[in-house]
Amino acid sequence: MPNKIRLAIIGVGNAASALIQGLEYYRDQSFNKGVLHPTFAGYHISDIEISAAFDISADKVGKPLSEALKANELKIIVDLKNQNAIVLMGEIKDGVINETREMINPSDKAPINIAEKLKTTNTEIALCLLPSGADEAVEFYAEQALVAGCAFINATPTAVATNDVFAKKYQDARLPLIGDDLQDQFGATIVHKLLLQQMVDQGVEVKESYALDVGGGMESLNTIYRTRHIKREIKSKSVAASLNINAPIVAGTSDYVPHLGNGRNSMLWLVGRGFLGTEIIMDVKIQTQDGPNGGAILVDVIRAAKIALQQGTSGAINEISCYGFKNPPKQMNTPKEAGENLAKFIMGRK
């Protein structure tokens, strides 16, 4: 039997709730619907265990995860009796803005020593699920993971894996660094890439395209007020660069709709020209739940990070980052190629 994977979660929001619920949902190993790899490099999803959790909300700090997760928009659908790690007070830094203060309800408790807690809980991997735009906080936790000797996974758009300084620090410390900006299991970015690739493969000239979305919840609110342009640049580059298409392409969040809660509606528009220059127009709408849509990718990335630790691979790991993130250190041409390269990495081949 493989060892457990000791994971610390930074930011106990909807994405964390989906991931933690998934650990229980898939504990019955005969059930494997909705995931890419129930078992990955010898590790089952249930081999991931939460060693520590950090947040800044008064509604969560000091409570076991089983209770703290109830404060999120995402509905609890599983029994969380096994998830009793106490949520600890983290550093606020720039994690709160005026527009999100009431929703977060920041705690007035003093922050704990993050690096020390990561060490004493034998944490191997720190997963950053902080809100978009909290650059100072994300960088702080990346430094704390480094001090504690942990691998670091950055699910936010903040440049960490794509930051040469951080990449060098993790390389020197012989620790894996993975990110940036988590990609959904089946969201606008991946669907946009696949549709455009199919048009190209079928000889259709892509003339223009966009993929815009509206959503509720904390992540959408932060994106609108803090990182709309950064997220749009990352998503647009992720789609266009990976397919080498020379056409106007725009992708990103366009608005915040409070009553959507954890929901997200994505609108895709693709225009191409086929035989005899005839116009082909595709209009697609995707409705998803934000938190769960990243869960299937996260459980793969976490287990891949464990393999990287075992292999002694360090620095920014492009094979894992390209598989699960919109803004890896170096883009690969297609999602299929990214998956194949990750498989080679897991097998110990370059």
pLDDT tens column, 119-173:
999 999 999 999 988 999 999 999 999 999 999 999 999 999 999 999 999 999 9
Query: What is the average per-residue pLDDT within 93-109?
Result: 93
Domains of the chain: 5-183+294-346 (3.40.50.720), 188-292 (3.30.360.10)
- SS3 string of 142-160? HHHHHHHCCEEEECCCCCC
The chain-wide mean pLDDT, for the chain, equals: 92
For residue 226, the model assigns a pLDDT of 72
Q: Which secondary structure element, helix H or strand E, spans residue 239, and what is its range?
A: helix 228-243
The pLDDT tens digits for 264-292 are 999 999 999 999 999 999 999 999 998 99
Beta-bridge mates of residue 43: 40
- In this model, does residue 92 exceed pLDDT 60? yes
**So what's the pLDDT on residue 202?**
96
193-228 pLDDT tens trace: 899 989 999 999 999 999 999 998 888 888 877 766
**What average pLDDT does this structure show over 102-107?**
94
Beta strands in 99-248 (DSSP E): 125-128, 151-154, 176-178, 205-215
Q: By the 8 A CB rule, do 145 and 118 touch? A: yes
Q: Can you give the pLDDT at residue 1? A: 41
Dmax over CA atoms of the chain, in Å, equals 68
Give mean pLDDT, residues 231-247: 74
First and final C-alpha spacing in the chain: 27
The pLDDT of residue 122 is 98
Joined together, the tokens standing for residue 28 give 């019955």
CB-based contact 130:153 (threshold 8 Å): no
The per-residue pLDDT for 158 is: 95
327 in Cβ contact with 230 (< 8 Å): no
29-72 per-position pLDDT tens digit: 788 899 999 999 899 999 999 999 999 999 999 999 999 999 99
Beta bridge partners of 279: 273
- Quick one: pLDDT band at residue 242, thresholds 50, 70, 90? low
**What is the reported pLDDT for 93?**
96
Tokens (6 digits) for 272: 């191409």
**How confident is the model at residue 233, as a pLDDT?**
77
Q: Inform me whether the pLDDT recorded for 2 exceeds 60.
A: no
